Structure 1
Amino acid sequence: MSNFLSSSSIAAHAPAAANVAIEVVEQTGSTNADLLARVGRMPQPSLLAAELQTAGRGRAGRSWISASGSLAFSLAWPFRCALRDLAGMPLAVGVALAETLAANDVAVRLKWPNDLWLDDAKLGGILIETALDRSGAQQGVPQVWAVIGVGINIAQPEELLQQIGRPIAALPANLAQDRSRLMGMLLDGLAVALRQFEQEGFAVFAARWNALHAWTGQNVVILENGHVIQEGIATGVDAQGQLLLQGPDGVVPVLAGDVSLRRQESGNKNKENDDKGSEEHAAAG
């Protein structure tokens, strides 16, 4: 069986995404950048998947390292709303991906705000970028395009492990052997979730995210530019997608942004034992 991605096979496994244009390319720099460049010229939601991505981007401007055979794709989805209404979308996308994989017996957990974890190692990540399309605005409301970049490790090539310098997770071989089927199922789950998100916001995803929270009840520190800005016990997220930390003065919400989450290590609470890792290993955007 060829494991190259096929647009028709992806579509066959994504009945909820019948309105999505699907394109597969052999190689590109960044699938997110490619779709962002098309805003204003896309008549419908669009999926762009790449066999190899050479210049993927992670959160806070970090680069994303991608190996051939990983799953690297971006989904452009239009919304008629204000940008502020998209708060919590990375978490809702994480729920959709994790629940799809869970339906295939892969127990993925979620790390705030945008990482997929498996067996206490990073499986993949999410990068969402937005752009306004003012052409054809209805009643003065421009269309907002969310470009959702996702990277998931399919294998653990030795050269990738050496480059990253720390363990990473990969999908089980039985699920990874048909990447088009996997891509189709993920697209199907995303299409359902994005429609629900547009109608109801993140609040309907909050309990589902908390049920998948990788570090619930653990001591964590929040870093910004390498400096600790908050610390406490991670208790979950609220209806807006803010991380909730239990500290000596009560529960404090943490806004997403250029912030990284670290496990608090005894003797070295600033130890960076995961997220920066892979910088970033699975090609997202």
Structure 2
Amino acid sequence: MRQIFQEIPSTNERLRLQNPNLWDSILAFEQHQGRGRRGNDWVSPKGGFYFSICSPQHKLLPLIAGLSSKLSLESFHQFNVSLKWPNDLILDGKKLGGILCESHNDFAIVGVGINIVTSPDVPSSISLNDIGVSINLLDLADKFENILKRELMNFDSNDFFISYRKAEILLGKNVRWNGSEGIVIDITENGELMVEENNNIITLNAEEVHLEH
């Protein structure tokens, strides 16, 4: 079942409190208390796509949700949406949206926020409207739900990582995190970022990673 709200504090939180069934979802056109990773605020003005859905648990869920978002958007228009590990959607080098996955007992909630008409007033953000693209939010919710179901229910590790690696902008790039820096080598089968740092190979699990320019 899907609920639709003109405005809401948080789609993820509302869905969690409802003790949802698998694939129940909430779509909102504005959030007042949207959340990003690490408890950061997610600016959610009117005119965006704010969607949360109850899904099965999966160790790669944030990456699968990111790829599903990319494929959903690209099904409507011919443009290239990239992914930035672990949860950002990138368009023309700027942040178009993000993913927030939260585990709750025997289910997970996948939250997706995408800048459709407007974007946060920062130079690193972009909206679809900025490039002259318009997508019906109900159609986007349907498409994302269908692709997410397909990716989870027919998951094939080899196929998934081939697609994900093609979309990931960090591969082969210099990055920095927590005062350290290195070169991204790969994504592990557990969804970790594999980085070469001073001739040592390390893996990052949930660190905030930034591209070196």
Same fold (TM over 0.5): yes
* Cα pair 1:122 1:169 within 8 Å, conserved: yes
Q: 1:184 aligns with which of 118, 135, 142?
A: 142
Within 1, Cα distance between the matches of 2:33 and 2:23?
23
1:260 aligns with 2:208: yes
Normalization by structure 1: what TM-score? 0.68
* Cα pair 1:74 1:147 within 8 Å, conserved: yes
Q: Find the residue that maps to 2:69 and give its secondary structure.
A: helix
Q: 2:107 aligns with which of 133, 145, 150?
A: 145
1:115 aligns with 2:88: yes
Q: 2:198 is matched with which residue?
A: 248
One-letter amino acid of the counterpart of residue 76, structure 1: C
Q: Find the residue that maps to 1:28 and give its secondary structure.
A: coil
1:168 aligns with 2:130: no
* Cα pair 2:83 2:168 within 8 Å, conserved: yes
**Count of aligned pairs:** 211
* Cα pair 1:96 1:189 within 8 Å, conserved: yes
- How far did 1:36 drift? 1.0
Q: 1:4 is matched with which residue?
A: none
- How far did 1:204 drift? 4.6
Q: 1:215 is matched with which residue?
A: 170
Q: What do the CA deviations read for 1:106-154 (whole angstroms, capped 9, x no partner)?
A: 201110110000000000000011111xxxxxxxxxxx11100100000
In structure 1, runs of 5+ residues without a counterpart are 1-20, 80-85, 133-143, 266-285
Give the direction of change, closer, same or farther, for the CA distance of 1:250–1:52 in structure 2 (3 Å limit): same
Q: 1:51 is matched with which residue?
A: 29
Q: Find the residue that maps to 1:209 and give its secondary structure.
A: helix
One-letter amino acid of the counterpart of residue 194, structure 2: L
- How far did 1:175 drift? 4.6
Within 2, Cα distance between the matches of 1:93 and 1:38?
22
Q: Find the residue that maps to 2:7 and give its secondary structure.
A: strand
Q: Find the residue that maps to 1:93 and give its secondary structure.
A: helix
Q: What do the CA deviations read for 1:147-198 (whole angstroms, capped 9, x no partner)?
A: 00100000236xx41xxx323111257652422222221222112112234x
The list of structure 1 runs, each at least 4 consecutive aligned residues, that deviate by more than 6 angstroms after superposition, is none
Highest RCO, 1 vs 2 (Cα 8 Å, sep ≥ 6): 1
Give the direction of change, closer, same or farther, for the CA distance of 1:35–1:210 in structure 2 (3 Å limit): same
One-letter amino acid of the counterpart of residue 155, structure 1: V
Q: 2:69 aligns with which of 97, 101, 105?
A: 97
Quick check: which has more Rg, 1 or 2? 1
Q: Find the residue that maps to 1:63 and give its secondary structure.
A: coil
Within 1, Cα distance between the matches of 2:191 and 2:56?
21
Q: CA RMSD in A?
A: 2.0
Normalization by structure 2: what TM-score? 0.90
* Cα pair 1:206 1:238 within 8 Å, conserved: no
- How far did 1:44 drift? 3.7
Q: Find the residue that maps to 1:124 and give its secondary structure.
A: strand
One-letter amino acid of the counterpart of residue 146, structure 2: D
Larger displacement relative to structure 2 (47-56 or 171-180): 171-180
- How far did 1:101 drift? 2.2
One-letter amino acid of the counterpart of residue 127, structure 2: A
Q: What do the CA deviations read for 1:73-96 (whole angstroms, capped 9, x no partner)?
A: 1011245xxxxxx32210111111
Within 2, Cα distance between the matches of 1:203 and 1:128?
22
Within 1, Cα distance between the matches of 2:14 and 2:158?
31
- How far did 1:251 drift? 2.7
1:194 aligns with 2:159: no
